[in-house]
Amino acid sequence: MSNSPRVDEISPPELKSLLERGEVRLLDVRQPEEFDLVRLPGALLVPLDELPERLDEIREFFSDPKLKRVVYCRVGGRSALAIAWLNECGVGGLYNLAGGIRLYAEVVEPTLPTY
């Protein structure tokens, strides 16, 4: 059982569809070296430990109400923590990528590198 907070999730196939339609904003909360290995198109990198100092930037990034707001990490734990914290700060309507970028690569984009 995980210690991650309960958050709304989006499946990898759902995210792929949103990406294809340009209807999503992605926040990546991994570390820069992970982001350099593999990332999803258009993602904003804000490592988990930088969330407090970059809160205004994140609010602006997620300001378009027409776009789905998705947060991801490698497998979903850090992104769940980020969503819980952002919700406490008044940034709502966030979805966690189920299984993180690792499951996305496995299910949707097998050509993406995994680690």
* Residues with a known catalytic role: 73
> What's the rounded Cα separation, in Å, for the pair 63 and 79?
19
- Separation CA 85–CA 25 (nearest Å): 18
Q: Identify whether the C-beta of residue 51 lies closer than 8 Å to the C-beta of residue 40.
A: no
The answer to whether residues 27 and 43 touch, using CB atoms and an 8 Å cutoff, is: yes
At 32, list the tokens. Answer: 């820069």
Q: Which residues of 40-73 are buried (b: 16+ CB within 10 A; e: fewer)?
A: beebebbbeeebeeebeebeebbeeeebbbbbbb
